[in-house]
Amino acid sequence: MRSRAATKDPLIMRARFKRYVLCCLAMAALATTASAETRYTTIVIDPGHGGFDRGGIPGQRVPEKIMTLDVSLRLKPLLEKAGYKVVMTRDTDVFVPLGTRVAIANSNPNAIFVCIHFNSATRSGANGIETYFYSTESAPLAASIHSALVGGAPSENRGVRRRGYFVLRRTTVPAVLVECGFLTNPTEAQYAQSNTYRQQLAQEIARGILNRPALAARTGYTNRSSYVDVGLQPFLDQRFVRESGTKHHRRHKTSTKKKSSSTEKKKVSSEEQ
């Protein structure tokens, strides 16, 4: 049985006090995270482009603005069914300036901002799904949505990346931008034109939002991400990637031609001697 003197030992008392303080800090952190997470009761959905802004690149056959709006309108009832208030930056084919989109997001302090886009490139072989974020607080949301999308779609995984896009940089709520595949890729463009596939995209985005980890409250415009716990991949701009082996093959042909020409010159020289 411990004596009263032992329980009053300074070292023991100090250790107990330290454990008590750590326990209080842990409970406070959990309470802060929980309160921050429960405050997100609204989802602002931002269908990219619209009106005179078709999206994509000149000559692109499938207009991005139509695809982004369709996926967004499919996403809305899925989130409402889960109990969220949903705000659309546009629900028809109209042009909405970037500043207005940001203002709509920031006017809903209890919101999460999800921007829907499709990708494009001058090279038709470019493909895959990618998700962007800017602030540290947005990284878990981006990772969750991206994981759901690439898990349910047949497209390549181009990764989660940090980019300073205006709508991500200037929003004061957790914000992500999803690129749902390349409309300049014949296969992915064909997928995108399918009602079934667009519904699948909406369902996977909704799943990523609903299954997200707890999000902390954003503290400002210029938060930088440490990339902790986010599966980042290096950026690869597929517009400038050459077809495999093309460059090497051309060099090989050139060097062979030069070698052949050199051999012929030597042969002529020996005959003249």
Full set of structural domains in the chain with CATH: 36-239 (3.40.630.40)
Region 181-205: mean pLDDT is: 95
Question: Given pLDDT bands bounded at 50, 70 and 90, which one contains residue 184?
Answer: very high
SS3 content of the chain, % helix, strand, coil (to 5): 50, 15, 35
Residues 6+ apart with CB under 8 A from 229: 139, 140, 143
What is the rounded CA–CA span in Å between residue 110 and residue 5? 54
Region 264-273: mean pLDDT is: 47
Q: What is the DSSP letter of 52?
A: T
Phi-psi region of 205 (alpha: psi -120 to 50; beta: other; left: phi over 0): alpha
What is the rounded CA–CA span in Å between residue 89 and residue 111? 13
**CB-CB contact of 132 with 179 (8 Å):** yes
Burial of 155: CB neighbours in 10 Å, binned 0-12, 13-18, 19+: buried
Question: Given pLDDT bands bounded at 50, 70 and 90, which one contains residue 33?
Answer: very low
Q: Give me the percent of the chain exceeding a pLDDT of 70.
A: 64
Question: Given pLDDT bands bounded at 50, 70 and 90, which one contains residue 67?
Answer: very high
Q: Give me the percent of the chain exceeding a pLDDT of 90.
A: 56
Question: Given pLDDT bands bounded at 50, 70 and 90, which one contains residue 155?
Answer: confident
Q: What is the DSSP letter of 53?
A: B
Q: Would the pLDDT of 65 be above 90?
A: yes
Among residues 116, 58, 63, which one has the least CA distance to residue 90?
116
Highest mean pLDDT (candidates 28-42, 120-134, 151-165, 239-253) = 120-134
Taken as a whole, the chain contains a residue count of 273
**R_g of the chain computed on alpha carbons:** 27
Region 85-112: mean pLDDT is: 96
Region 113-126: mean pLDDT is: 95
Residues 6+ apart with CB under 8 A from 176: 113, 114, 115, 131, 132, 133, 138, 141, 142, 145, 168
Residue 106 vs residues 141, 145, 167, 174, 221: alpha-carbon distances, Å? 17, 21, 10, 10, 11
For 2-23, how does the pLDDT look when each residue is reduced to its tens digit (9 = 90+)? 555 555 666 666 666 566 555 5
Region 150-165: mean pLDDT is: 89
Residue 2 vs residues 6, 9, 13, 124: alpha-carbon distances, Å? 6, 11, 14, 78
More confident residue, 187 or 29: 187
Residues 6+ apart with CB under 8 A from 238: 121, 123, 125, 126, 127
User: H or E element: which one contains 169?
Assistant: helix 166-169
pLDDT of residue 213: 75
The single residue listed with the structure tokens 């020996």 is 270
Name the phi and psi angles at 254, rounded to 5. Answer: -65, -45
For 195-232, how does the pLDDT look when each residue is reduced to its tens digit (9 = 90+)? 999 999 999 999 999 998 766 554 443 333 333 333 34
